[in-house]
């Protein structure tokens, strides 16, 4: 996987295809590898890029503003000045923050399995519902650290389609997981949503957590340019487990909305 230096940060990323850039931002503990099906399914029509967001080790500040700025500087290094930004959970908040903060750079935003505010939700609930693996909430944090400490595997388990996401978790350390969780729980993006001018697609799986479904509806209502798509028989990781349907939905949205700009 190639690596670039972005303001002193080493950023791992994948980059394939040519054309309009689609840039994928992972969520709470995802990595660039999680978007393998978008790379294989969309790179014949688009330039598909996915990258790993910064970790928290050695950084005093960790905020959506910093992560959105990291995204723009990453695109600068790749000499990309306009792109469709697609984010999952925390990555969705980064995409929407970037759309509000850098309107000339974000041609469209896609928020997948997103919630604008987790106010009143416990950290154990968030971790339990946003986990790609089976775990008891009270032991999840220690188990996820254990998962990511194992040697990476490349073989998928047909009986457990999310096993690949667990295996390719991106070396998320405990401090980074804690910082990202804190960010999800503390940051409320509702005030910035009316400022998002770019066409916005909000995607949720019909079998996702009720908080995700209601949060997706709220983003749709507060964002002037938003369209909501609920994917049938899809879960929290719809971009992976229902990748054909997800890719078709994304492709249709981009083809319909981006040429209008």
Average pLDDT over residues 134-156: 44
Q: How many helices (H) and strands (E) does the chain have?
A: 10, 8
pLDDT tens digits along 163-193? 888 776 546 778 888 899 999 999 999 999 9
Percent of the chain with pLDDT over 70: 86
Decide if pLDDT at 153 tops 70.
no
**CB environment 141-172: b (16+ within 10 A), e (fewer):** bebbeebbeeeeeeeeeeeeebbbbbbbbbeb
Decide if pLDDT at 197 tops 80.
yes
- Output 199 or 9, whichever has higher pLDDT: 199
**Helices 64-77/90-101 angle, 10° precision:** 70
Percent of the chain with pLDDT over 90: 68
pLDDT tens digits along 15-24? 999 999 999 9
DSSP 120: T
pLDDT computed for residue 61 by the predictor: 81
- Output 257 or 172, whichever has higher pLDDT: 257
Which residue is listed with tokens 């928020």? 111
DSSP string, 39-105: HHHHTTTSEEEEEPPPP-TT-S---HHHHHHHHHHHHHHTT--SEEEEEETHHHHHHHHHHHH-TTT
pLDDT computed for residue 260 by the predictor: 53
Decide if pLDDT at 218 tops 90.
yes
pLDDT computed for residue 138 by the predictor: 35
As a CATH number, domain 3-116+172-260 is 3.40.50.1820
Tokens of 248: 């078709």
pLDDT computed for residue 59 by the predictor: 60
Edge-to-edge, what's the strand order for the sheet holding 226-231?
Answer: 3-6, 9-16, 47-51, 21-25, 83-88, 106-112, 200-205, 226-231
Confidence of residue 148 (pLDDT cuts 50, 70, 90): very low
Burial of 199 (0-12, 13-18, 19+ CB in 10 A): buried
> What SS3 class is residue 201?
strand
> How far is it, in rounded angstroms, from Cα 92 to Cα 184?
11
pLDDT computed for residue 175 by the predictor: 84
pLDDT tens digits along 45-95? 999 999 998 887 766 688 999 999 999 999 999 999 999 999 999 999 999
Decide if pLDDT at 235 tops 80.
yes
On average, the pLDDT of the chain sits at 87
Decide if pLDDT at 147 tops 60.
no
Q: What pTM, to 2 d.p., does this model score?
A: 0.89
pLDDT tens digits along 99-120? 999 999 999 999 999 999 999 9
> How far is it, in rounded angstroms, from Cα 168 to Cα 154?
8
């Amino acid at each position: 996987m190639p690596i670039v230096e972005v303001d002193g940060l080493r950023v791992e990323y994948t980059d394939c295809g040519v054309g309009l850039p689609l840039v994928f931002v992972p969520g709470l503990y995802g990595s660039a590898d999680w978007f393998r099906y978008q790379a294989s399914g969309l790179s014949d029509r688009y330039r598909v890029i996915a990258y790993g967001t910064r970790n928290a080790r050695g950084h005093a500040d960790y905020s959506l503003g910093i992560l959105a700025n990291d995204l723009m500087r990453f695109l600068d290094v790749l000499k990309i000045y306009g792109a469709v930004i697609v984010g999952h959970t925390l990555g969705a908040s980064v995409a929407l923050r970037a759309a509000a903060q850098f309107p000339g750079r974000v041609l469209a935003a896609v928020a997948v399995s997103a919630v604008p505010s987790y106010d009143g939700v416990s950290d154990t609930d968030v971790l339990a519902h946003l986990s790609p693996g089976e775990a008891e909430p009270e032991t999840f944090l220690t188990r996820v650290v254990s998962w990511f400490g194992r040697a990476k595997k490349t073989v998928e388990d047909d009986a457990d389609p999310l096993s690949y996401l667990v295996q390719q978790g991106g070396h998320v350390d405990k401090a980074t997981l804690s910082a990202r969780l804190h960010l999800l729980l503390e940051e409320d993006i509702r005030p910035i949503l009316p400022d998002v001018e770019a066409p916005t697609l909000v995607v949720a799986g019909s079998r996702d957590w009720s908080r995700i479904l209601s949060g997706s509806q709220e983003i749709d209502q507060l964002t002037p340019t938003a369209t909501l798509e609920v994917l049938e028989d899809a879960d929290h990781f719809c971009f992976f487990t229902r990748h054909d349907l997800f890719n078709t939905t994304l492709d249709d949205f981009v083809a319909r909305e981006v040429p209008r700009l």
